[in-house]
Amino acid sequence: MNIETTASFAVPWPELLGGGLIGLGAALLWAFNGRVMGISGIASAATWTERSDAQGDRTWRLSFLAALAFAGWFAARSLPTSGIAPSAGWIGLAISGALVGIGTRLGGGCTSGHGVCGVGRGSTRSIVATATFVAFGILSATSVHAWSGGTP
């Protein structure tokens, strides 16, 4: 790939490095534990009944989630600029959360499980799912923006 570094296009290092770290996290979980780093599934199964924990997987799932939250805590503490401002009102956040919970459970994955791991291993199901949620995400964000008159 021929990348010309000009004033109009700087190489997006934070995005490339950050994405690489996300991929590395997924690679560790797969190569060592044989598990897909699907965060919707990890969070859902970690908090559901014993039946979803038939193989005693609650320990690693909760450990993963704690580490993910720790990264956010550490970033907020050491890089004050990384603070997370609200991106929607309370009702919007509640509706959004419920739809994401229902949708990821029905569709069997989210941005990490389908988008990174599934697409990365060339799964047709995941490619279809990812194309679908990105398309509907664009549709939804663009409509909400047009309706409310501004992206926060």
Partner 1 sequence: MNATWVRAVVAVASGLCCGAGLVLSGMSDPRNVLRFLDVLGEWEPRLLFVMASAVAVFGLAYVSVARRRAPLFAPVFSLFPRPRIDVPLVAGAAVFGIGWGISGFCPGPSVVALGSGSLGAVVFVLCFLLGSWAVRLIDESALRGVPDVR
| Residues 1 to 40 in contact with partner 1, rule: CB under 8 A | 12, 14-40
DSSP tag of 87: S
CB of 4 to partner 1, least distance (A): 16
CA distance 16 to 105: 29
| Residues 49-108 within binding reach of partner 1 (CB under 8 A) | 51-52, 54-57, 59-61, 63-76, 79, 82-88, 90, 92-108
CA distance 46 to 151: 33
| Residues 98-117 within binding reach of partner 1 (CB under 8 A) | 98-117
Question: Which positions from 115 to 144 touch partner 1 by CB under 8 A, shown as an x/- string?
Answer: xxx-xxxxxxx--xxx-xxxxxxxxxxxxx
CB of 148 to partner 1, least distance (A): 10
The alpha helices in the chain, defined as continuous H runs, are 13-28, 39-46, 58-78, 90-107, 119-120, 124-148
CB of 8 to partner 1, least distance (A): 13
Q: Which two tokens stand for residue 49?
A: 């009944």
Contact in structure between 62 and 134 (CB atoms under 8 Å): no
Backbone φ, ψ for residue 42 (5° rounding):
-60, -45
Q: Which residues 6+ apart lie within 8 Å of 105 measured at CB?
A: 40, 44
Size of residue set near partner 1 by CB under 8 A: 121
Q: Which two tokens stand for residue 128?
A: 């279809």
CB of 113 to partner 1, least distance (A): 4
CB of 5 to partner 1, least distance (A): 14
Residue number with CB closer to partner 1 (6 or 42): 42
